[in-house]
Amino acid sequence: MLVLGIETSCDDTATAVVRGGRVVLSSVSTDQDRFHAKYGGIVPEIASRRHVALLSAAVEDALDRAGTTFEQIDAIAVTRGPGLIGSLVVGVAAAKALAFALRKPLYGVNHLHGHIFASFLGEGEVPRYPFLALLVSGGHSQLVEVESPTAMRVIGRTRDDAAGEAYDKTARLLGLGFPGGPQLDALAQRGDPRAIAFPRNRVPAGSLDMSFSGLKTSVRYFLESSAGKRARIEDVAASFQAAVIDVLIARVGAAFALRPYASVVLSGGVAANSGLQRALREWSQGNGVDAFIPPPKYCTDNAAMIAAAAFYQGDALLADPIALSADPNLPFALRPSTSSG
């Protein structure tokens, strides 16, 4: 099955052609960083207008790189939510038009499910069910129990800021450019993670939830203090990152203490963080658990993961090309793709 994937949930215009849910024949992605950098964050109106300008060319590019044509594509998959409504509408409208004109099946994919199925892309083994997914991005930080491609539930989540959001806000405090997460990670590699004792969030016993807003505030107060003014920026970055990673890995350990999952998956944009990858691999090796981490290019928003999710979730996502709608607040649980949203 050859699936054309389209992803426009935020500020990356992404398309891909994937065969059999695993073989990536092409993956095209154009970021908009230079358009948003001067604002220090993503401007929704700019993001949606850039998708309009880029998407048609991105679709054609994906087909050309895959050496295929519209006629040879078996299905079309598109992110229908959650995300920025203007950005989602552009991708959904394009996918609906293509599916209707070409008479191809259309699949409406949950962006977060796509991140989970990114770990199925490529060669080698795939996660065994049931597995635990640690999904960390700019907008979400969740622990997801995955029983099957269509049966999954969130068992832990952030109570305030997502991990990626905390990274970006802390990067701004440190005077780093946009996007700040990758720059902070690079800076942390040159610092001492034990230099500053930033707090680790504690939640009530039995909860797998997490919180990062207090950590971000602690960084701000530290930087305003006399000690903070003398501190090396590399040490601040490394100590902040250590605090985030400690919380995430602790929640993974707590989840496994409640149930012995077959494997663990790290997904989402923050999954590209080198420190987090290293910590999860160390934890998994120490506990005899198979860990699956997508290559960096499939950790961040991409269309190959959307095509993979459509392949594995199949009929549960099948949508009417006329009735499918974008839903910026799409619930995590599966529901009919043709709902009005």
State how many domains the chain has: 2
Do 285 and 173 share a structural domain? Answer: yes
Do 144 and 94 share a structural domain? Answer: no
Residue 145 domain-assigned (yes or no): yes
Please indicate whether residue 93 or residue 178 has the higher confidence score (pLDDT). 93
Phi-psi domain of 184 (left: phi exceeds 0; alpha: psi -120 through 50; beta: other) = alpha
Q: Measuring CA to CA, which residue among 184, 194, 189, 199 is closest to residue 270? A: 184
d(CA 321, CA 96): 5
pTM of the full predicted structure?
0.92
Backbone φ and ψ of 125, nearest 5°? -70, 160
CATH number at residue 17: 3.30.420.40
Answer with the one of 293, 308, 331 that is the final residue of a domain: 293
Amino acid at position 29, single letter: S
Please indicate whether residue 173 or residue 180 has the higher confidence score (pLDDT). 173
| Tokens at 162, concatenated | 């997502």
Residue 312 domain-assigned (yes or no): yes
What's the pLDDT tens digit per position in 99-133? 999 999 999 999 999 999 999 999 889 999 999 99
Please indicate whether residue 140 or residue 331 has the higher confidence score (pLDDT). 331
Structural domain span for residue 55: 2-117+299-319
Do 264 and 226 share a structural domain? Answer: yes
| 183 pLDDT higher than 60 | yes
Percent of the chain past pLDDT 70, that is, above it, reads: 97
| 341 pLDDT higher than 60 | no
Residue 188 domain-assigned (yes or no): yes
What's the pLDDT tens digit per position in 6-17? 999 988 899 999
Do 50 and 111 share a structural domain? Answer: yes
Do 218 and 237 share a structural domain? Answer: yes
Do 93 and 208 share a structural domain? Answer: no
What's the pLDDT tens digit per position in 184-219? 999 999 999 999 999 998 777 789 999 998 998 999
Contact (Cβ atoms closer than 8 angstroms) between residue 110 and residue 329:
no
d(CA 213, CA 240): 12
Q: Name 278's Cβ contacts closer than 8 Å, sequence gap at least 6.
A: none
Reported confidence tier of residue 335, pLDDT bands at 50, 70, 90: low
